Structure 1
Amino acid sequence: MSSLPIQALFAPLQQALTDHSQIILEAPTGAGKSTALPMAMLQWPQINGKILMLEPRRVAARSVAQFIAKSRGEKVGDNVGYRVRGEAKVSANTRLEIVTEGILTRMIQQDPELTGIEVIIFDEIHERHLPTDLGLALALEVQESLRDDLKLIAMSATLSGLPLQNLMPDAAMLVSEGRSFDVEKVYRPVAGQQQWLDALASVIIDSVSTESKTVPVQYQQGSVLAFLPGKGEINKLQRLLSQKLDSQQFILCPLYGDLTPAEQDKAIAPAPDGKRKIVIATNVAESSLTIDGITIVVDSGYKREASFNPRTGVSRLSLKRISQASSIQRAGRAGRLAPGCCVRLWGQEEQSRLAKTEAPEISISELTSMALDCAYWGESNIENLPLLTPPPTIHQQVAWRLLAQLALVDAQHKITQQGQAAYELGCHPRLAHMLLQSKALADAHQQADLVSLACLLTAVLEARGLPKKGVDISQYLSLASQGLMANQVRKWQKLLAVSGDIKQIARDAASRDISSLLALAFPDRIAKARGKQGFQLSNGTGVTIDIEDNMSNHDWLVVADFQESQGRNAGRVYLAAAINSDHLHHDLASLISEHKICEWNEVKGRFYAERQQKIGDIIVSRTLESNVDSSLIVQALVSHIQRKGLSILNLDERFYQLQYRLKLAQQFAPEHDWPVIDTEHLLASLSQWLAPYLTEVNSIAKLQKVDILGHVKNLLTWSQQQTLNELLPTHWKMATGTSAPITYQVDDIASDNADIDQITNRQNGKSLGIQARALLSVRLQEALGLSQSPQLLHGKLVVTMELLSPAQRPIAVTADLASFWQGPYVDVKKEMRGRYPRHLWPDDPANTTATKFTKKKTPGLQ
């Protein structure tokens, strides 16, 4: 420990703690920032209070605490302890406490002054986990408003792409050298049609062979660390390797978040004497952990990323390539204790195409729990917190809407009394709402055990790594009455002031009670069967259940857990409870709402109205109505148009020309505040601009007679209509008195035409990036005397001339009339003189008076 590079920063760090309240420390892999630094800080005279160190992952928090305690010759829980979800080893003597992300946030919420805590260290902050971003934001607010003596240290393996200095501009900046040995990179892209998991198994087997073609012999004595995207792939690879490797020589150790602490410790510990260890891990092993004996890393290059889908309200799991930063972190695991080798299952040229860094979780995650954290903190807008990255607006809207539906916040996003009680239960807001409402349900049905049953259900839904027992959630209740899950159930029972034999309650739980409770948490996930495997959720989402599972035979379910996956059209249900129709219309009747709708029947060619009972998007029952109200017909017409598109209306070329002209006006004369009349906007706003004129329309035939162009024109003021006609007229007055029509083409509408002009802002000579053409069609004789093509939009758009023969057929197209008269016109004149001898074809067209008559009728040419 005394030789670690971080030692060189101890003196500057002590000085920084004296002079600054915020410190940013960049310390690459192997520097000792997670172990040597916090251990040394326990002895520094500048620190008298408690040190909290945040570790993003539970396995890292436990491992770091155990390592530091052992290095000090102490037991974990004495001066050095840790606290993770469901497990804590701390005492009154603990001065250095390693905690996971969510624990830190709750400590701040429960005691905003952080009594007794002097320093908070944010380790591995570059990983950008959502709770880390939130914890840092709250700590910064505490420091700003309550504890100016609180010291914050943000530590990162790299500051690349991390806007810490924007958030903490006055922080002291310190940089440590790393300590890692050279790692040789070997690229082994998957060949042809081979499955990447099979290829990975082959590479690992070859890597530990004495005759390896992949890994140089000098790395052969160490153990192997393989990176995979998830638990499923880890289990498959473990089965493949166990069939091909000698168990007397190799020990296979999976490593992922759902494993028990004992199983995780086994993966981190040194290999038994005489054996080599093969650790098969998720990205949990990317940082903070030093796994003894690793000299070879085999990297699949994949990760499993959960991105929130605001439409369905769940996160979609996708298999994605890791970033360059992640690949560097993974490779570095092979060089922590000695020189090593990293085998990458992709080509060297692909390495440079990987994204530079990972997307921060706040950009892709569900924000319901974070929003409740904000409300509990007293903040009604997530973006008002000092965050490294603002979250997507739509994700925030979905989160606040759900919290309002659960009555945990009010319309102004202020936390309610129910919301405060829900937060203090420490589970997802949906489940906290179920726990609180279960008491009211228990009183109504005179069933005191309903609250304890809700606690058991919550424990199941909060658990990780459940064994597979099918979709029926009742099959898992017995698990929740045992071990660590039972401890959590009893904590909730205590908070809710109830008691009961949870083993007995788990055995006696009735399906009706389970579904009633789950409906409190998931009112948007009532599911109706459609087809053999499929169900529709009340939020509109489609889900499936394996046909072999008994739950697929029910007509109605409440879905408690489902997952969307890349490449699947419907989500897959993991946990649900059955609902019978009698139950639906009694205990769950509050979820049913009544609607009166009117629609156009295309087959019968008429409107019809019906009364529908619905749960969200699911129609439970429907009854035809004999009288169709005119207001309902208007709604039906609007819906019909939105479904079919504007093309079903009485539209002609004049309508589309108005759209094109207005698009050009918006681009080049925005000072007139033009309305938006593109098709998408018009469809979305039918209720505002068209519906008022449909009250007398009761058929599609009458709809066809509505003056759509007139109503759209009325969206422009009289002044705007006059200005538009001046800037972009529909006709051009020729010298002969003829009003020649101008046809406009804009953007992709005419993208196939090679001669579209690029409009240029002539004031600054810069292209404005919109393609368009104004095409003026007129007989050539009426263009005589024009020295150049007309110009529109105050000279920004040159009109393209379509010159016609006396028979009104195109004979030339040009946007440069002067050049046309001097060049191509000569050939046109030769050809046309013989075909139309009675018409004028002068030798000097630019200086000839225009005419719309034959030579005989033209004055001076008789």
Structure 2
Amino acid sequence: MTQVLPIDAVLPDIMAALVLKPNAVVVAPPGAGKTTRVAPAILDQPWCNGAVWLLSPRRLAARGAAERIAEEMGEAVGGRVGYATRLDSKQSAATRLLVMTPGLFRNRILADPELHGVSAVLFDEVHERSLDGDFALALAIDAQQGLRDDLRLVAMSATLDGVRFGALLGNAPVVKSEGKIWPLDLRHIGRRAEDRLEASVLAAVRHALADEAEGDMLAFLPGAADIERAATAVEDARLPLAVHRLHGQIDPALQRKALVRDLDGRRKLILATSIAETSLTIDGVRIVIDAGLSRRPRFDKAAGIARLVTERASQASATQRAGRAARQGSGVAYRLWEAAATAGMPPFDPPEIHENDLMPVVLDCASWGIVDPRQLGWLDPPSPAAISEAKTRLQAIGALAGDGRITAHGKALAAIPLPVPLAHMLLDAARAGEAEMAGRLAVLLTEPGLGGRGVDVEARLGRWRGQRNERSEG
């Protein structure tokens, strides 16, 4: 029998809202079940004659959501329920519920603005405010208003941004699920400034093992290198734990293994980036260890590229992380900072639209037929200065004409699912007869960790050719 989840109580309200209006906002705390239950319920509605697309912010979450929904429906992934990401997909002619990333949705709506055969698009975890997520929602709203007044749009959030999203979606009704509240014990154990991060994590793991007799652990660290160092420290200590890494560079098979209980019944320690903050519940987790740090993209105007920087996590992020310990029962969260320091953390993660390179947004808008991206419906519009700078760089590579309209070269760039500079490199290389090598370089530069983490690109290419696993061959 399928487990009853808190979201089930409000599913009738959500379905009724979508009969009265084309749009709705669903606000439900993590673990309430919005990711896995709302989309399947829409499939059964009389007005839903086509496909339902569920947009999930990360590849891991998209694949995991599809697998969980299919499991609850008693089916295999690739039948009625499928998923599609940039390098991996399982779908068929029978697929009606397709989970995808916002970046892939952007490609599909630009190619087919009317979204033929699609009845509803759901935007999960909209509170994360990724650039791809915000842009995908803006394009969908524009398509609905100009081409598809029968298209249903649903924004789903774990935080109380519902009113703002409701206004953006034409005063759409906001349906709230209270969720199941389990006791959560917050313990601020601090961290000495002179200690390496992996040493502090190891100390917190020992602390948790001494205090908590049962339950798996989920530790949040800023990046893949931090995770590897912490994993090595814990494994060298020979603690009674099965250690798992969980980040975007891990092979999909190992990612799946981290999400389920240990087959041999051992307690688990999952070392993860912010990839594990929201979306699917990780079964068995009762203990969270939070380093209080995040890796975020910041556009370097001087270099013309985005860099990942390590910063303090936001208060909202810390709350999300701690809540992972209390999704299935009472839990405890160990925080590697003093309680008083929480007030000094930024309240929320800044919207990526204020931090990222806008070249792809400006180019895609030009492909959409809009010279000024601010004409679209944004929760937070991009700044005129950032738009102007992006236009200047796009004109320099021949992607935009002087009046801001897209050129033939720009249309070719927009059709390639890569960052604009890499797409430009790919087309230039193709003209020089080096398309295959350029394609390999583009994949290597957009898939961190593929072929290793060194700065020697030639060495990484060589190691990649020799790798035989699901990720390297995807």
TM normalised by structure 2 equals 0.94
8 Å CA contact 1:6–1:31 kept in 2: the answer is: yes
Deviations 1:155-197 (A, max 9, x none): 1001249731342242111111112411111111113633343
CA distance 1:126–1:395, change in 2 (3 Å): same
Determine the structure 2 residue equivalent to 1:35: 36
How far did 1:263 drift?
1.2
1:442-457 map, 5 Å: 442=433, 450-457=434-441
Distance change (3 Å), C-alpha of 1:184 and 1:108: same
The RMSD of aligned alpha carbons is 2.0
CA distance in 1: counterparts of 2:202 and 2:182, whole angstroms: 26
Corresponding letter in the other structure for 2:206: I
Please name the residue that 1:367 is paired with. Answer: 358
2:140 alignment partner in structure 1: 139
Quote the residue 1:100 is aligned against. 101
| Cα pair distance change 1:471/1:302, threshold 3 Å | closer
Is 1:24 aligned to 2:8, yes or no?
A: no
Letter in 2 for 1:405: A
Which of 212, 221, 237 does residue 214 from structure 2 map onto?
221
Aligned twin of 1:341:
332
Which residue pairs with 2:110 in the alignment?
Answer: 109
User: Which consecutive segments of 4 or more residues in structure 1 shift more than 6 A?
Assistant: 482-488
2:233 match: secondary structure: helix
User: What residue is the counterpart of 1:82 in the other structure?
Assistant: 83
Q: Which residue is equivalent to 1:579?
A: none
1:271–1:293 contact (8 Å) kept in structure 2: no
* Deviation digits for residues 494-548 of structure 1 (CA, Å, limit 9, x no counterpart): xxxxxxxxxxxxxxxxxxxxxxxxxxxxxxxxxxxxxxxxxxxxxxxxxxxxxxx
State the one-letter code of the partner of 1:150: L
* 1:243 corresponding residue in structure 2: 236
CA distance in 2, matches of 1:169, 1:439: 45
Residue equivalent to 1:4: 5
Looking at structure 2, the residues matched to 476 and 191 of structure 1 have their Cα atoms a distance apart, in angstroms, of 36
Q: Residues 397 and 156 from structure 1, CA distance in 2 versus in 1: closer, same or farther, beyond 3 angstroms?
A: same
Match of 1:421 among 383, 389, 412: 412
Kept in 1: contact 2:366–2:404 (CA 8 A):
yes
Higher relative contact order (CA 8 A, sep 6+): 2
1:467 CA displacement: 3.4
Look up the match of 1:511. none
**Is the 8 Å Cα contact of residues 52 and 99 (structure 1) preserved in structure 2?**
yes
The 10-residue stretch of structure 1 (419-428 or 38-47) with the greater mean CA deviation from structure 2 = 38-47
SS in 2 for 1:366: coil
- Residues of 2 paired with 1:455 and 1:438: CA distance? 9
Cα distance, 1:206–1:30 mapped onto 2, change above 3 Å: same
Question: Counterparts of 2:146 and 2:193 in 1: how far apart (Å)?
Answer: 60
Distance 1:479 1:107, change over 3 A: farther
CA distance in 1, matches of 2:115, 2:293: 40
Q: Is the 8 A contact 1:84 1:100 kept in 2?
A: yes
| In structure 2, distance between residues paired with 1:90 and 1:161 | 32
Q: Identify the residue that residue 231 of structure 1 maps to in structure 2.
A: 224
Corresponding residue of 1:474:
458
Partners of 2:154 and 2:270 in 1: CA distance = 32
Aligned pairs for 1:614-693 (under 5 A) are none
Taking the TM superposition and a 5 Å limit, the aligned residue runs for 1:273-312 are: 273-312=264-303
CA shift, 1:307, in A, is 1.2
Secondary structure of 1:64's match? helix
Q: By how many angstroms is 1:463 displaced?
A: 2.6
C-alpha deviation, 1:201, in angstroms: 1.3
SS in 2 for 1:25: strand
Matched with 1:45 is: 46
Q: What is the letter of the counterpart of residue 249 of structure 2?
A: D
1:314 aligned residue: 305
Residue deviations 1:564-594, cap 9 Å, x none?
A: xxxxxxxxxxxxxxxxxxxxxxxxxxxxxxx
Shift of 1:353: 2.6
Tell me the amino acid that sits aligned with residue 121 of structure 1. L
Amino acid in structure 1 at the alignment position of 2:229: K
Tell me the matched-pair count.
471
Equivalence for 1:392: 383
SS of the aligned residue for 2:61 comes to helix
8 Å contact kept, 2:451–2:461: no
Following the alignment from structure 1 to structure 2, what is the Cα–Cα distance between the partners of residues 339 and 414? 56
Percent identity (aligned): 36
Deviations 1:795-836 (A, max 9, x none): xxxxxxxxxxxxxxxxxxxxxxxxxxxxxxxxxxxxxxxxxx
SS of the residue 2:344 aligns to: coil
Q: What's 2:429 paired with?
A: 438
Deviation string 1:53-111 (CA, Å, 9 cap, x unpaired) is: 00001111111111111111111010000001111111111111100110111111111
2:343 is matched by which residue type in structure 1? S
Q: Aligned letter for 1:199?
A: S
Relative to structure 1, is the Cα distance of residues 72 and 282 closer, same or farther in structure 2, using a 3 angstrom cutoff? same
For the structure 1 residues 470 and 303, does the alpha-carbon distance in structure 2 shift closer, same or farther, using more than 3 Å as the test? closer
Match of 1:150 in 2: 151
CA 1:301–1:27: 2 relative to 1, 3 Å = same
1:555-566 equivalence runs, <5 A: none
Post-superposition CA distance 1:677-696 (Å, at most 9, x none): xxxxxxxxxxxxxxxxxxxx
CA distance in 2 between partners of 1:191 and 1:486 (Å): 39
Query: What code does the residue aligned with 1:236 have?
Result: R
Indicate conservation of the 8 Å contact 1:310/1:395, yes or no.
Answer: no
> Aligned partners of 1:376, 1:192: CA distance in 2, in Å?
49
Residue equivalent to 1:332: 323
2:247 corresponds to which residue? 256
- Alpha-carbon separation, structure 1, partners of 2:335 and 2:404: 48
Distance in 2 of aligned mates of 1:362 and 1:469: 28
Q: Any idea what the Cα deviations from partners look like across 1:680-714, whole Å, max 9, x if unmatched? A: xxxxxxxxxxxxxxxxxxxxxxxxxxxxxxxxxxx
- Counterpart Cα distance in 2 of 1:396 and 1:472: 34
Matched residue SS, 1:352: helix
**Compared CA separation, residues 462 and 317, structure 1 to 2 (3 A):** closer
Q: Name the SS of the counterpart of 1:466 in structure 2.
A: coil
Q: Do 1:29 and 1:179's aligned partners in 2 also have CA atoms closer than 8 Å?
A: no
Q: Distance in 1 between matches of 2:32 and 2:230?
A: 32
What is the match of residue 355 of structure 1? 346
Following the alignment from structure 1 to structure 2, what is the Cα–Cα distance between the partners of residues 192 and 454?
44
Once residues 146 and 425 of structure 1 are traced to their aligned partners in structure 2, the CA distance between those partners, rounded to angstroms, is: 24
Deviation at 1:464, TM superposition (A): 2.5
Secondary structure at the counterpart of residue 9 of structure 2 = helix
Distance 1:271 1:92 in 2: 35
Q: Is the 8 A contact 1:268 1:291 kept in 2?
A: yes
User: CA offset at residue 453 of structure 1?
Assistant: 2.6
For residue 99 of structure 2, what is the amino acid of its counterpart?
Answer: I
Shift of 1:366: 1.2
Cα 1:161/1:197, change in 2 over 3 Å: farther
2:256 pairs, out of 227, 249, 265, with 265
CA contact (8 A) 2:107 2:415 kept: no
Instruction: Give the Cα–Cα distance (whole angstroms) in 1 for the partners of residues 8 and 472 of structure 2.
Output: 45
The structure with the greater share of residues assigned to strand is 1
Counterparts of 1:199 and 1:486 in 2: how far apart (Å)?
33
**Match for residue 411 of structure 1 among 397, 402, 405:** 402
- How far residue 27 of structure 1 moved from its aligned partner, in angstroms, is 0.8
Task: Give the whole-Å Cα distance in 2 for the aligned partners of 1:161 and 1:145.
Answer: 24
How far residue 400 of structure 1 moved from its aligned partner, in angstroms, is 1.5
Aligned counterpart, 2:92 = 91
Q: Deviations along 1:284-338, whole A, 9 cap, x unmatched?
A: 0000121111110011111112211222212343321111111111011001111
- Asked whether the 8 Å contact 2:288–2:334 carries over to 1, the reply is yes
Q: What are the superposed Cα offsets for residues 185-240 of structure 1, whole Å, 9 maximum, x if unpaired?
A: 111111363334312210112211xxx2xx4x4xx211100000111110110011
Change over 3 Å in CA distance of 1:162–1:239 after alignment to 2:
farther
The amino acid across from 1:233 in the alignment is D
Counterpart residue number, 1:789:
none
Write the mapping of 1:438-837 to structure 2, written as runs, cut at 5 A: 438-442=429-433, 450-468=434-452, 470-478=454-462
